[in-house]
A and B are shown apart, each in its own frame.
Chain A
Amino acid sequence: MDKITLTINGQEVKATRGMTVLEAAQSADIYVPTLCHYPDLEPYGGCRLCIVEIEKMRGLPTACTTPATDGMVVTTESSAIQQVRQTSLELILSTHPCDCLECHRRERCGPYDICLRHVAVTDRCVVCPANDNCELQQVADYIGVHELRIPRDTMPRTIDTSNPFFDLDRNRCILCARCVRACQEITGVGAIDMAYRGYGMKVATFGDMPLMDSICRSCGECMVRCPVGAITPKDTVLPEREVKTVCTYCGIGCSMYLGVKDDKVISVRGDEQGPANQGRLCVKGRFGIAEFVNHRERLTTPLIRKNGRLVKASWDEALDFIAGKLGKYRGDEVAVISSAKSTNEDNYVMQKLARAVLGTNNVDHCARL
């Protein structure tokens, strides 16, 4: 690979051609505040927080969009940068509930803290599902904005609660367009986009309809990329621990972490290291697991029909039973249909069983039907 060297804050940084300045900085553990940047999305350059100074370039280019080149000399902190960053951040905060910043009673309230009522109910960080997991809080801490020189816009914006799995609360939206880009670039659905212009811009579906009336697939890819609490799951209990597993819904093999609380699955998180899915999940994997795992009618053992009644059995019993029955047939007397929920390997073994053991070419698969 094509290696390049640049200097960031006086430090020599080795990077690969094709990286942005931001990626180069991050690879050397140099922090640059960002809000609209997301690793697997195309650079956007909207929040303007990642501005840096680059020798031989005019103005304050954004690190997240500028390609790193060999010999580049970058500065990520200066008083000019700080001033502009601070103003941009103040402007963002003026459209986001942020009165907690100015609270003199507490430094910052955590998820289960009780607000000491300095701030109006709807403006409290504690009522936001993203509290303590909010990139805007982190960036504000880093840049150090504690009050606004400009008035906050408290005009209510519409909330879309039509989706059964997540809500879109535009009062918290900072218009970073990560959701829009996720829907277009990651899922290829394009259910949402930025609508209207300038200060009136907002995330909307085609025709500004509720999400449920749009082509949204409810995959939640937008939700996981929202840096603030604007798109949040309806169910927001936090897990005690996480268990790594593979989704059983289909054969793709998406790797995921199940969130567990009181020995029950309560949440799902895509595994970014998962080779098949790189963190992405579909609606079933992301929102359908807890309900089905915990469902009281879910089968937990095989059942064998005895005298017209289904009776619980062990796996050995069930397999012996099937082997006994199947063993009576050969060739065209038998056909095998396998499942899309099985992996490719399982399906391969299934057809092998059919051809080599049962001696039939009558093999089919539910996904074809």
Chain B
Amino acid sequence: MTRAKPSNGNKERTIYVCQGTGCISGKSFEITEALKKAVKEQGLQGVNIDFTGCHGFCEQGPVAIVEPEGIFYAHVTVADVPEIVESHLRDGKPVERLFYKDPVSGEAIPYHKDIKFYSMQQRIVLRNCGRLNPERIEDYMAVGGYESLKKVLKEITPEQVIDEVKRSGLRGRGGAGFPTGTKWEFCHNAVGDQKYMICNADEGDPGAFMDRSTMEGDPHTVIEGMTIAAYAIGASEGYIYIRAEYPLAVKRVRLAIQQAEEKGFLGDKIQGSDFSLHIHVKEGAGAFVCGEETALLASIEGKRGMPRPRPPFPANSGLWGKPTTINNVKSLATVPVIIDKGTEWYASTGTEKSKGTCVFALTGKIANSGLIEVPMGIPLRKIIYEIGGGIPGNKKFKAVQTGGPSGGCLPESFLDQSVDYESLAAAGSMMGSGGMVVMDEETCMVDVARYFLSFTQAESCGKCVPCRIGTKQMLDILERICQGEGRPEDIPLLQQLGEQIKAGSLCGLGQTAPNPVLTTLRYFRDEYEAHINEKRCPALSCTKLISFYILPDKCQGCGICARECPTECIAGGKRMVHVIDQEKCVRCGTCLEVCPERFSAIIKVSAEEVDVPSEPIPVKEKPKAAAA
């Protein structure tokens, strides 16, 4: 273990408390206030209390970093404040018990840069998140912010900007991966007296929070990228479409717009050039489908958020029928870096066809969940086992789902697959906007498919037949299968419906919604067959298909299970082998959880009869020696 050296107590220090949404819910406002108060009470000089946006490691939150050493504190509470102030900020002795602990080795790691979760990442979009105060434009400018915009306005024509972005290989991070430069070119070449630049910050994928974190942690990057994009396409009006469930992002983006206007990076005649741009914030009501670009346009226009067929494409006929470009937050946040560091630099990361980095919200059965940014082409294994720290509890990996609710589930054989647009699509999944859910052996793949489909089905706008009715029919079938009422013909029917819904639907939602079902049918067909033919859930997860039994040779009659069982369906008595009434049991699994580990008398099975007594019988006395 690298020990943190006690550093010079008099050094100027800043403690940055994370004020992203996750850490705020962990009381980071209160922590900041307590720190301020304690520092004042101690009369410490040269200690600054500041805050940042999200670090991406919300699971360890609330987190804080003390600079310049780069000491990283995890799970900070208000109660920890006096110790941090006295020991670290005053005496220069970092508080070891608040260090992050490596999930694999258990080692405490003091420095931010040594934490594998961070050190393996390559941050371009998230480069400033957690590094600066998002509510101060000066902080952004101090790290070179708005220099790219200045350079563009002074030295580069819109055509050259488009050319650079094209050469960088940047592709849309909103899901479809369309080349950003080409998209801009279409709009640039479209004829129209008024053009619009729109930033898609709807982020409807459940569990995804990269766009939110970028806006909360580094809003000026998004605005700078958007302004450069608007310059390239010739737009003088811009909209940032943020879901209203992101109040902090809305607040910080609004503030950033105001600051950028004050500094002359937005508004009329930006930096003395002929280029003007006004950016408005439009709050969305939070429908998943409103992230689809044509539905988003309808929503800004005040209509029902329903997609419309393309062509005409927004580049020619978008907002109010005018040429419009829509880009994702991350696509735009990348642009200033490309301008600053050059296309060659950007294109040197990634694969042949997928350049740069991608951001994932890593969740599920994984030790380190959080927001990660990795180079395109990285193998899934590296993300899951190195950055993610593997599967907790010694469980076996089963599948990883990428691309949000309509992505596909990939089995272990794909772990060495490169993560990029083409490879994921070839495997039946997709990049999407970057959800990554890891599943272990206890996850039932039929149930997972059912779960994701229940989301997309509920979020279907209802406009077109295959998606509106087809996903409902598929969901009904999956529900039946999970209840043990599946029929052999369900498998081909799911397959056909899935393929035809994909082929027949109007927008990307319906065109991808069957993916979780189709990929699980492809890679985990045996699980479907077990559910249908044997009424067995191999993962022991579908409640209708599992049972709990108390093994008579293990039960010691302690009675804990009977006390905890919510339906009181366990019969027993002191020193009696307990028996579960299978008729009344609701399969909640409480008994399994509470049975003391030294007895481990309860087992969970599926489609299996276990020989147990029908009534409680006395516990067999063990020979004395064994009991001791």
Chain A residues at the B interface, C-beta cutoff of 8 Å: 43-48, 51, 59-62, 65-67, 80, 83-85, 87-88, 91-92, 94-95, 149-151, 175, 177, 193-194, 196-201
Contacts and interface: CB of A to CB of B under 8 A. Distances in A.
Contact of B504 (A44, A84, A94, A198): A84
Please list the 6 inter-chain residue pairs (A to B) with the smallest Cβ-Cβ separation, ordered nearest first.
Answer: A201-B462, A198-B460, A91-B469, A87-B500, A65-B309, A45-B309
A59 B471 CA distance: 19
- What is the size category of the interface that chain B forms with chain A? 20 to 34
A91 B473 contact: yes
Contacts of A85: 504
A45 B468 CA distance: 13
Given A83-B500, A84-B503, A88-B504, A46 B465 contact: yes
A87 B496 contact: yes
Nearest to A45: B309
A92 B465 contact: yes
A199 B469 contact: yes
A92 B504 CA distance: 13
Contacts of B466: 48, 84, 87-88, 91
Nearest to A35: B465
B462 A94 contact: no
B380 interface: no
Given A45-B506, A67-B311, 12 more contacts: A43-B309, A46-B463, A60-B503, A67-B312, A84-B466, A87-B501, A194-B304, A194-B462, A197-B287, A198-B461, A198-B462, A198-B468
B493 A149 contact: yes
B309 A198 contact: no
Given A46-B464, A88-B465, A95-B469, A62 B500 contact: no
Interface of B: 287, 304, 306, 308-309, 311-312, 457-466, 468-473, 476, 493, 496-497, 500-501, 503-506
B304 A201 contact: no
A65 B313 CA distance: 12
Q: Mostly helix, strand, loop or mixed at chain A's interface?
A: loop
Contacts of A88: 465-466, 470, 500, 504
A149 B304 CA distance: 32
B125 to A, nearest CB: 29
A124 to B, nearest CB: 22
B287 A87 contact: no
A199 B462 CA distance: 6
Q: Mostly helix, strand, loop or mixed at chain B's interface?
A: helix
A333 B311 CA distance: 67
A84 B304 CA distance: 27
A47 B503 CA distance: 13
Nearest to B467: A198
B85 to A, nearest CB: 51
Nearest to A87: B500
Given A48-B464, A48-B504, A87 B470 contact: yes
A151 B476 CA distance: 10
A84 B469 contact: no
Given A83-B500, A198-B459, A48 B312 contact: no
A47 B465 contact: yes
11 contacts: A48-B506, A60-B503, A60-B504, A67-B312, A150-B493, A175-B462, A194-B304, A197-B458, A197-B462, A198-B461, A200-B462
A151 B490 CA distance: 12
Contacts, number: 102
A84 B476 CA distance: 20
A257 B311 CA distance: 39
A59 B311 CA distance: 13
Contact of B309 (A61, A193, A200): A61
A196 to B, nearest CB: 7
A141 B462 CA distance: 25
Contacts of B503: 59-60, 80, 84
Contacts of B304: 193-194
A48 B457 contact: no
B494 to A, nearest CB: 11
A51 B504 contact: yes
Nearest to A43: B309
A91 B312 contact: no
A141 B504 CA distance: 20
B598 to A, nearest CB: 50
Nearest to B510: A48
Instruction: Give the residue among B306, B461, B463, B465 with the most A Cβ atoms within 10 A.
Output: B465
B459 A197 contact: yes
Nearest to A44: B463
Instruction: Give the residue among B312, B466, B493, B503 with the most A Cβ atoms within 10 A.
Output: B503
B305 to A, nearest CB: 9
A175 to B, nearest CB: 7
A196 B469 contact: no
B464 A94 contact: no
Contacts of A62: 309, 506
Nearest to A193: B304
Contacts of B463: 44-46, 177, 194
A44 B476 CA distance: 28
A149 B491 CA distance: 13
Given A45-B506, A88-B465, A91-B469, A198 B457 contact: yes
A152 to B, nearest CB: 11
A45 B307 CA distance: 10
A199 B466 CA distance: 11
Contacts of B476: 151
A295 B287 CA distance: 53
Contacts of B505: 48
B309 A199 contact: no
Nearest to A47: B465
Contacts of B311: 66-67
A91 B459 contact: no
Nearest to B496: A87
Contacts of A194: 304, 306, 462-463
Instruction: Give the residue among A66, A88, A91 with the most B Cβ atoms within 10 A.
Output: A91
Contacts of B506: 45-46, 48, 62
B308 A45 contact: yes
Given A65-B309, A91-B470, A150-B473, A45 B500 contact: no
A84 B499 CA distance: 9
Nearest to B473: A150
A197 B288 CA distance: 11
Contacts of A151: 473, 476
A274 B461 CA distance: 37
Nearest to B505: A48
A59 B473 CA distance: 23
A197 B204 CA distance: 15
Contacts of A198: 457-462, 468, 471-472
Contacts of B312: 67
B190 to A, nearest CB: 15
A284 to B, nearest CB: 31
Given A66-B309, A67-B311, A48 B469 contact: no
Contact of B468 (A44, A65, A201): A201
A78 to B, nearest CB: 12
B16 to A, nearest CB: 41
Contact of B469 (A43, A44, A94, A197): A94
A147 B463 CA distance: 24
Given A45-B308, A60-B503, A196 B464 contact: no
Given A48-B464, A194-B304, A201-B462, A92 B469 contact: yes
B497 A87 contact: yes
Nearest to A150: B473
A65 B500 CA distance: 20
Contacts of A65: 308-309
A196 B466 CA distance: 17
Contacts of B468: 175, 198-199, 201
A84 B502 CA distance: 9
A196 B476 CA distance: 20
B522 to A, nearest CB: 19
B485 to A, nearest CB: 12
Nearest to A200: B462
